[in-house]
Amino acid sequence: MYSHRENNTKFIVGCLCAIGCAILYGLSFVFTKNVIGSVTTLSLLGWRFFVAFAVFNLCVILGIIKINIKKKLKPVLILSLFFPVLYFIGETIGVYYTTASESGVFIASIPVATLVASSLLLHNYPTRLQLVGISVTFFGVLITVLSVGMKSHFSGIGYTFLLIAVLSYSLYCVFVEKASEFSGAEITYVMLACGAAVYAFLAIAESYITDSFNELLTLPLTNSSFLSAILYQGIGCSICAFFMSNVAISTIGINRTSSFIGLDTIVSISSGVLVLNEIFTPYQVIGSAVIILGVYIANMKRKRYRSA
């Protein structure tokens, strides 16, 4: 049994990790914006996970991070299959075949899908406040995404792969909660190993098909924007954000953690305005306010601490 003070500490740590994860993911927009179109998605993903896995291993060798993966890895391998492997495949192909607004709506539904998966597979039913908060957050993201105008291509392939991405992320959350014998660092290590193996292989295969293997190898040396992107995504998103996501889920639960996902949208929009001089519309202001309200409602504490 945890004491009231320990529960409060866990709650604060979990919320801070969820917020930190949202900030890191949201800021990645700035780093990838300048390389989109000049390099392939597989090149970016391949180098991202290679850098992340290499840096993580260096930290392990230096004793900065301690892990012990001499356990039954099945639950961690399963969650790694869902995220990052299937999620990024689904998202990448889905975004390619659909519009930005369509893909944004699908990704915005992740908290809802996660809530359903948690209820069905873990019998971890949300509280009334969590249900209301996640619904409000979802509505706020929709306002923000659709404020740029809803365009539809009605792509069966695109919708299918976006659905795969949404389901993959929600199932990843379920299996993180099941993998309680592993630390956040150990789960992150296996996730990075799987991501590096799959996406490095796909990037190399693509480069052989397009006869651009030498270009793939020298991309970080010849393209400074690409180097910045893979360093940020590899270290910031794939190491730090993955770790914080795993810690958040294990401490405050799936339902509370998923309620913070909408903050990614606010950070992405804000960074676009501040760094890339993009326009911040009144509807985006309203949507951002609704998202923050939803996050607050979903994480309002009762008099007695209750694990999500």
Can you give the C-alpha Rg of the chain in angstroms? 19
pLDDT digit string (tens) for 45-56?
A: 999 999 999 999
Q: Of 275 and 189, which is predicted with more confidence?
A: 189
Return the residue matching tokens 């995404």: 145
pLDDT at 92: 86
pLDDT over threshold 60, residue 139: yes
pLDDT over threshold 90, residue 58: yes
Ranking 67-81, 119-133, 212-226, 273-287 by mean pLDDT, the lowest is 273-287
Q: Of 195 and 278, which is predicted with more confidence?
A: 195
pLDDT digit string (tens) for 227-275?
A: 999 999 999 999 999 999 999 998 999 888 989 988 988 888 888 878 7
pLDDT at 105: 79
pLDDT at 306: 43
Query: What confidence tier does 151 reach under pLDDT thresholds 50, 70, 90?
Result: low
Q: What value does the mean pLDDT of the chain take?
A: 88
pLDDT at 194: 97
Phi, psi for residue 39 in degrees, rounded to 5: -135, 160
Cis bond upstream, residue 84 (ω within 30): yes
Query: What confidence tier does 308 reach under pLDDT thresholds 50, 70, 90?
Result: very low
Q: Which of 195, 206, 160, 190 is nearest to 88 (CA)?
A: 195
The upper half-sphere exposure of residue 264, i.e. CA atoms within 13 Å in the direction of its Cβ, equals: 23
